[in-house]
Amino acid sequence: MKPYYEQSYWDSLFSWKELEYLINIRPLMSANRINVLGDNAGLKWNNTEWTKDYSCLPPSLIREVLDNYIVFIADMSRSTKKINDFAKMLEKEYGLQSDAHIYICMNTSIKHHFGTHFDHNDNVIVQCEGETNWKVWDKITDTRQQPYLMDINDDPIIDVNMQPGDTIWIPKYHPHRATSNTVRLSVSFPLANQGDYFEDRNWVKLY
């Protein structure tokens, strides 16, 4: 994979309306899946007698989290057929397992928790709603350094304002930073070698 950016590569992958549906399914909103970026140690909630998974955040807390933090929801590569098909396409192209992380920023005054950072896996990110500025720098040579909140003075090799449908490819060990210019919804597809087993991409149809 090489650093790359393409406009209108994949339109209508995911929408606010589809996210609204998902976040209102409480059993799906497990604390193991919801990643709240920032100091969230004070998040607490109650459960009813009918609750089967006590780790799932209730809707009122989901609303609070979305208003005050940048959030990403992991293990979502089968959350919709379109996202599942996109992950399947990437797995076929690169021979690596793909997840899907749904990123949400409803408050543009919040600074990104990771800042300028690099990942240990390749990523493909699709802008779904809003506008996000992405900066990508050339590959680092020392991958043992602190991966987050990096201070880089070099000019980026990619500097773009991504609109819905725009897509960016960021190989591992390439520092990058996302800045939400507006409220933002995007889906990131991390790719890594996780052994021989791939997610079952068959889509169950009932009619």
Range of the domain at 80: 4-37+56-192
The residue with tokens 């992380």 is 101
Checking if the pLDDT of 49 tops 70, the result is: yes
Residue-level pLDDT at 40:
65
The answer to whether position 128 is within a domain reads yes
Burial of 207 (0-12, 13-18, 19+ CB in 10 A): exposed
Could you tell me which residues are beta bridge partners of residue 16?
Answer: none
**0.75 exceeded by pTM:** yes
Cβ contact 139:157 at 8 Å: no
Residue-level pLDDT at 147:
85
The answer to whether position 44 is within a domain reads no
If one counts the domains in the chain, the total is 1
Cβ contact 14:46 at 8 Å: no
The answer to whether position 201 is within a domain reads no
The CATH code of the domain that includes 118 is: 2.60.120.650
Mean pLDDT of the chain: 93
Say how many C-beta atoms besides its own lie within 10 A of residue 194's C-beta: 13
The answer to whether position 127 is within a domain reads yes
| Span 67-113, pLDDT tens digits | 989 999 999 999 999 999 999 999 999 999 999 999 999 999 887 77
- Residue 92 tokens read as 């076929």
DSSP string, 100-155: -EEEEES-TTSPPSS-SB--SSEEEEEEEES-EEEEE-PPPS-TTS--SS----SP
The answer to whether position 75 is within a domain reads yes
The answer to whether position 141 is within a domain reads yes
Strands 97-98 and 176-180: unpaired
- Residue 81 tokens read as 């057929």
| Span 17-47, pLDDT tens digits | 999 999 999 999 999 999 988 766 578 888 9
| Span 134-183, pLDDT tens digits | 999 999 998 888 888 889 989 999 999 999 999 999 999 999 999 999 99
